[in-house]
């Protein structure tokens, strides 16, 4: 299953790049698919790309739901940040048919 997360833009870089923050973890992403993003905006992040801007209140509600469910959205296995947790079962390919190496989120080092 693939997952897209709300993240806050903290820095705009050259070209379509930006730095986003999720729970203190920062990652460089692409804004190539979204227009008019500013520092402080929330975007939905999937596979290193912002897919759409998100209302700040909706982003906070979504992140609160993750917390209430006991999910640390900042460190999904193989996701946005580094984690020491290991997966006990093999990863399955995304619907796109990509490889078994976490095709949806990239690995813990941020590569795809």
Condensed to tens digits (0 to 9), the pLDDT of residues 49-107 reads: 999 999 999 999 988 988 888 877 665 444 444 433 333 334 344 444 443 343 444 44
19-52 residue pLDDT tens: 999 988 999 999 999 999 999 999 999 999 999 9
The number of folded domains in the chain is: 1
Instruction: Evaluate whether 26 touches 10 at the Cβ level (below 8 Å).
Output: yes
In DSSP notation, 26-60 reads EEEEE-TT-SS--TT-EEEEETTEEEEEE-HHHHH
The reply to whether 43 falls in a domain is yes
pLDDT at 58 (0 to 100) = 94
Higher local confidence (pLDDT), 103 or 8: 8
Count of residues making up the chain: 112
pLDDT of residue 70: 81
Boundaries of domain holding 68: 1-107
* Residue 94 domain-assigned (yes or no): yes
The verdict on residue 112 lying in a domain is: no
CATH number for 15: 2.30.30.140
Q: How far apart are CA 37 and CA 47, in angstroms?
A: 18
The rounded distance, in Å, linking the Cα atoms of 20 and 45 is 9
- Of 4-8, 11-15, 68-72, 96-100, least confident by mean pLDDT is 96-100
β-bridge partners, 7: 43
Closest CA to 32 of 16, 21, 44: 16
pLDDT at 75: 55
Evaluate whether residue 28 is within a structural domain: yes
């Amino acid at each position: 299953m693939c997952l897209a997360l709300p993240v806050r833009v903290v820095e705009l870089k050259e070209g379509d790049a930006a730095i986003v923050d999720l729970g203190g973890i920062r990652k460089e992403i692409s804004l190539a698919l979204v227009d008019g993003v500013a520092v402080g905006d929330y975007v939905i992040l999937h596979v290193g790309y912002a897919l759409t801007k998100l209302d700040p209140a909706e982003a906070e509600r979504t992140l609160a739901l993750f917390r209430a469910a006991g999910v640390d959205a900042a460190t999904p296995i193989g996701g946005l940040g580094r984690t020491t947790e290991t997966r006990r079962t093999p990863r399955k390919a995304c619907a796109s048919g990509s490889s078994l190496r976490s095709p949806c989120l990239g690995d813990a080092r941020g590569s795809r």
